[in-house]
Copies of this chain bind each other. A is one copy, B any other.
Amino acid sequence: MSLFPAPLENLIDSFASLPGIGRKSAQRLAFHVLSLPETKAMAFAEAIIAAKKSVHSCPICQNLTDGEVCSVCLDDKRDKSVICVVAEPRDLASFERSREFNGVYHVLHGLMSPMNHIGPDDLKISELIARVAAGDVREVIMATNPDTEGDTTAMYISRLIKPFEVKVTRLAYGIPVGSNLEYADDATLVLALEGRREM
């Protein structure tokens, strides 16, 4: 005998299948949804349907969009000759929040990870190479996370781009602003020293 009516068990299962949500949290969330006014609960369900139906990848940069082309690629004021390559739409959002970068992006939708059987063909790498091959690109900035998977993917892509004679750069490694040297890890300190600049 199940402890809750079937539709409720079903909703708990749905929540529990989300990443980072355990059985108890899923129960709490499901009860919360049940306690919502009818309109709010329906709005939640419709938000899922609408997002799933209308959000797709931008055919140019693979960023998520609900339009034909994403807002960055559509913007005439952006410098289309500089492409910043990121792993996820979330990373792109971080750059946009800083309001400093005026080029365009390319979202890989993941990073190469042999451990998880994710190879280059599982990422949007061929789309990036096609953009570079089409010309008009001056610089490709590799902005993947500074870890094994990020570095491996950046290295792999930079080799593919080399034949096109386009400048490939990567983000500077170093001490993050506002941090404490006492707690900086050795690898970061070494890279910060190596990359030191004249004042």
- On A, residues with C-beta under 8 Å from B are 1, 3-8, 10-11, 13-14, 18-21, 25, 27-34, 36, 38, 41-55, 64-67, 70-71, 88-90, 93, 96-97
Chain B: minimal CB distance from A163 (Å): 33
- Taken together as a complex, chains A and B put the C-alpha atoms of A87 and B25 apart, in Å, by 18
Q: Please determine whether B8 and A51 come into contact, CB atoms closer than 8 angstroms.
A: yes
If over half of A's interface residues share one DSSP class (helix, strand or loop), that class is named, otherwise mixed; here it is: helix
Chain B contacts for A49, CB-based, 8 A: 41-42, 45
Q: Please determine whether B66 and A11 come into contact, CB atoms closer than 8 angstroms.
A: no
- Taken together as a complex, chains A and B put the C-alpha atoms of A29 and B21 apart, in Å, by 9
Beyond A19-B28, A27-B90, A28-B19, is A51–B33 a contact (Cβ under 8 Å)?
yes
Q: Please determine whether A25 and B31 come into contact, CB atoms closer than 8 angstroms.
A: no
Q: Please determine whether B38 and A5 come into contact, CB atoms closer than 8 angstroms.
A: no
A72, closest chain B residue (CB): B1
Beyond A27-B90, A31-B90, A47-B11, is A55–B5 a contact (Cβ under 8 Å)?
yes
In the assembled complex, 17 residue pairs joining A and B whose CB atoms fall closer than 8 Å, in A order, are A3-B97, A5-B55, A5-B65, A7-B51, A8-B64, A8-B66, A10-B51, A11-B47, A11-B50, A14-B43, A14-B48, A33-B51, A34-B51, A36-B52, A38-B52, A41-B49, A45-B46
10 pairs of A and B residues whose beta carbons are closest in the complex: A5-B66, A3-B93, A11-B51, A45-B48, A41-B52, A45-B45, A14-B47, A7-B51, A7-B50, A11-B47
